[in-house]
């Protein structure tokens, strides 16, 4: 297998992560910071493109890094409609959807395909996205709710979830497409997902307020209680929406999303912090159990990834509650940059077929 050079771009709210890989080896990586005041001048996310690209190129120049010889460019795939997982070429439709945010969510990840496209066009090389945020492989039963016409949608840390599963399968001498896993991403948001033979068939909607309580998200809340909040005096739609995605969970209870800070609070005897932490861990385990039932108990492993997995106490608590289901493996941190490069290398090596983004979502409703 050849080791191709791949340049990966992962835009965040006030920074952009960049990395240059040769095969699995990282040759260069940097988090390029952007001036928050400068970003505020732009009306929309895509309007930031020239500024972000310029700061990236300046950072490469300062580091003495050249993009000569790069075989492919990969950007985080924000703004796209829900599609099956895989590696997609940045074609005209994908570029248009990323630019305008066709999924209705304005997020810096939209800039990933755009920056990758511009750099690739200048170099005469291909541009890809790998397992974008709206990766949708849900089985039909997972889409239904108890309200006609209201369906569950999927918003997960798909890139990191799938890369964790692919890496683990390889470490066991197996193929991802042959195994069943419950895979968790435990960071600022919490994703718990069921993977059956290479397909992510169920998982919580982290944007929709689904799943366990997280450091920055409220998680699933009884419907009638949410209705009360919505109709309470002074209720503000933006504030309530933020509870689902930004100011819920540990932030709501404790004023911080930093797990390390919460651990210090607990060590200092803060009972409220201890109660909130235990509730979050309880809910994580609850959802792991539910995903195990999706796989009918045929679970080859429970895989834990994300920044909070550095906390050995958290991992041990999950092992104590869920270890009877299947062996539990910890993969601290994130593999987003590595995942993008690995996806490009699989395609360039002929291990995985490149997919075409058609602009049509994987699921558009039931026909009967």
Neighbours of 48 (CB within 10 A): 23
> In terms of domains, do 318 and 197 share one?
yes
98 located within any domain = yes
Q: For residues 90 and 112, what is the distance between their CA atoms, to the nearest angstrom?
A: 10
Q: What is the tens place of the pLDDT at every residue in 262-282?
A: 999 999 999 999 999 999 999
Q: Percent of the chain beyond pLDDT 70?
A: 100
Beta carbons of 158 and 133 less than 8 angstroms apart: yes
Residues 256 and 182 reside in one and the same domain: yes
Mean pLDDT of 139-151: 94
Mean pLDDT of 165-186: 97
Residues in contact with 305: Cβ distance below 8 Å, sequence separation at least 6, in sequence order: 160, 161, 164, 183, 184, 185, 186, 331, 332, 333, 334, 335
In a domain, 354, yes or no: no
Structure tokens at 114: 């755009």
Is residue 289 in a domain? yes
User: Would you state the pLDDT for residue 170?
Assistant: 96
Between CA 59 and CA 47 the distance in angstroms is 20
Q: By the 8 A CB rule, do 67 and 60 touch?
A: yes
| Chain centroid to CA 123 | 28
Q: Is residue 343 part of a domain?
A: yes
Residues 77 and 156 in one domain: no
155 and 109 in a common domain:
no
Residue 106 lies in a domain: yes
Whole-number pLDDT of residue 154: 81
Range of the domain at 148: 140-334
Shared domain for 158 and 291, answered yes or no, is yes
**What pLDDT score does 208 carry?**
83
61 shares its domain with 155: no
The residue-averaged pLDDT of 3-21 equals 96
Task: Specify the pLDDT at position 46.
Answer: 97
pLDDT one-digit tens code per residue, 54-90: 999 999 999 999 999 999 999 999 999 999 999 999 9
Whether residue 122 contacts residue 160, with contact meaning beta carbons closer than 8 Å, is answered with no
What's the structural domain count of the chain? 2
- Would you state the torsion angle of the CA atoms of residues 306, 178, 4, 114, taken in this order, to the nearest 10 degrees? -60
The answer to whether 78 and 133 have CB atoms below 8 angstroms apart is yes
DSSP letters, 326-363, are S-EEEEEB--HHHHHHHHHHHHHTTSSPPB---S--S-
Give the single-character DSSP code of 82. Answer: P
| Whole-number Cα distances in Å, 254 to 90, 114, 180, 244 | 42, 38, 36, 16
**Structure pTM?**
0.93
**For residues 314 and 199, what is the distance between their CA atoms, to the nearest angstrom?**
27
295, 149: one domain: yes
Is residue 289 pLDDT above 90, yes or no? yes
Report pLDDT for 207.
83
Residue 238 token pair: 């933006």
**Residue 314, pLDDT above cutoff 90:** yes
Give the contacts of 279 (CB within 8 A, at least 6 positions apart): 213
Q: Is residue 350 over pLDDT 90? A: yes
Q: What is the pLDDT of residue 141?
A: 95
pLDDT in the model for residue 264 = 98
Mean pLDDT score, 147-165: 92
Helix (H, G, I), strand (E, B) or coil at 220: coil
Whichever domain contains 41, its CATH number is: 3.30.420.40
Q: Quick one: 326 and 238 in the same domain?
A: yes
Half-sphere exposure in the Cβ direction for 48 (13 Å, CA): 26
User: Is 154 in the same domain as 287?
Assistant: yes
């Amino acid at each position: 297998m050849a080791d191709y050079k791949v340049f990966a771009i992962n835009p965040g709210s006030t920074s952009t992560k960049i990395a240059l890989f040769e095969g699995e080896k990282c040759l260069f990586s940097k988090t390029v910071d952007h001036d928050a005041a400068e970003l505020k001048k732009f009306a929309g996310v895509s309007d930031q493109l020239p500024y972000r690209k310029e700061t990236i190129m300046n950072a490469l120049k300062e580091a003495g890094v050249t993009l000569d010889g790069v075989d492919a460019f990969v950007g985080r795939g924000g703004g796209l409609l829900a599609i099956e997982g895989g590696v997609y070429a940045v074609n005209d439709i994908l570029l248009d959807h990323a630019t305008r945010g066709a999924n209705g969510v304005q997020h810096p990840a939209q800039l990933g395909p755009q920056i990758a496209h511009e750099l690739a066009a200048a170099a005469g090389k291909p541009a890809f996205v790998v397992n974008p945020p709206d990766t949708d492989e849900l089985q039909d039963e997972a889409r239904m709710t108890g309200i006609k016409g209201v369906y569950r949608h999927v918003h997960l840390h798909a890139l990191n979830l799938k890369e964790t599963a692919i890496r683990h399968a390889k470490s066991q001498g197996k193929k991802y497409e042959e195994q069943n896993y419950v895979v968790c991403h435990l960071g600022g948001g919490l994703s718990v997902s069921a993977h059956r033979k290479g397909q992510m068939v169920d998982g919580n909607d982290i944007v929709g307020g689904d799943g366990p309580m997280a450091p920055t998200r409220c998680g699933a809340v009884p419907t009638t209680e949410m209705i009360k909040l919505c109709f309470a005096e002074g209720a503000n739609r933006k504030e309530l929406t933020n509870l689902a995605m930004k100011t819920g969970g540990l932030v709501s209870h404790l004023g911080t999303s930093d797990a390390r800070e919460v651990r210090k609070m607990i060590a200092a005897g803060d009972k409220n912090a201890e109660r909130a932490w235990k509730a979050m861990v309880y809910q994580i385990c609850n959802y792991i159990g539910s995903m195990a039932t999706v796989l009918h108990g045929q679970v080859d492993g429970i895989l834990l990834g994300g920044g909070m997995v550095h906390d050995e106490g958290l991992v041990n608590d999950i092992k104590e509650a869920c270890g009877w289901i299947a062996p539990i493996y910890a993969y601290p941190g994130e593999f987003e940059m590595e995942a993008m490069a690995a996806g490009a290398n699989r395609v360039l090596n002929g291990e995985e077929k490149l997919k075409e983004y058609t602009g049509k979502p994987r699921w558009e409703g039931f026909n009967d």
